[in-house]
Amino acid sequence: SAVISQKPSRDICQRGTSLTIQCQVDSQVTMMFWYRQQPGQSLTLIATANQGSEATYESGFVIDKFPISRPNLTFSTLTVSNMSPEDSSIYLCSVVDTWKSFEAFFGQGTRLTVV
Amino acid sequence: QKEVEQDPGPLSVPEGAIVSLNCTYSNSAFQYFMWYRQYSRKGPELLMYTYSSGNKEDGRFTAQVDKSSKYISLFIRDSQPSDSATYLCAMSAEAAGNKLTFGGGTRVLVKP
């Protein structure tokens, strides 16, 4: 399975600021995704990070709020912009290498608290 | 109605018992079914992965998929206190580009 490293693991941020979360994979993967897990809730897909092009966002999520980059097949970033307390969540990077299988693996997550 | 339904629990069992978990879903396009285990303050860990209908066994874990009933199950035999965690079912349709739709998770507590 792919080894996924997410940074930072946690952060406490002031409202109105932005935080960029990094996801690094130890091997090239075809697909990378970003999920949000709000306190006590399950995971909700934010967007699919597309290499070299704009991310594909799910309903309820927009690029201005959650800009995503994916410059190559092993790295992606998610920025949470103009944060409010409602953005306090765990943000998770997920990868799928469709050349091998359809199994999805997750990073350890970034626990964000907005005060 | 949610696309994937999962009883939130908590499900409390004595050590050594069989843990039975299940999810129902409404989207007939789902073909890939996964079970994840998530410990507190950790990312989800893939336990089982099945494609289409049928059973799959891996050690103490057995996953079952019944596409005709839109129902999937996970059984954990000889449960251990270390199995105490939240179990999430997830599924995807190939055409959806591997995007996963998750159930709400079932919290399991195995008592020594």
The DSSP call for residue A107 is: -
pLDDT tens, residue by residue, B91-102: 998 755 678 999
| Whether the predicted pLDDT of B9 surpasses 70 | yes
Closest CA to A15 of A65, A88, A90: A88
**Within a 10 A sphere around the Cβ of B7, how many other Cβ atoms?**
15
Chain B 37-96, residues with CB within 8 Å of chain A CB atoms: 41-46, 49, 51, 88, 90, 92, 94
* Backbone angles phi and psi of B95, in degrees to 5: -65, -15
pLDDT, position B112: 94
pLDDT tens, residue by residue, A46-66: 999 988 889 999 999 999 999
- Chains A, B: CB contacts within 8 A come to 59
Interface contact flag, B46 A33, Cβ < 8 Å: no
Structure confidence at residue A111 as a pLDDT band (50, 70, 90): very high
Which residue shows structure tokens 């596409």? B67
Distance from CA of A6 to the nearest CA of B (A): 10
Chain B residues close to A58, C-beta within 8 Å = 99
Distance from CA of A41 to the nearest CA of B (A): 6
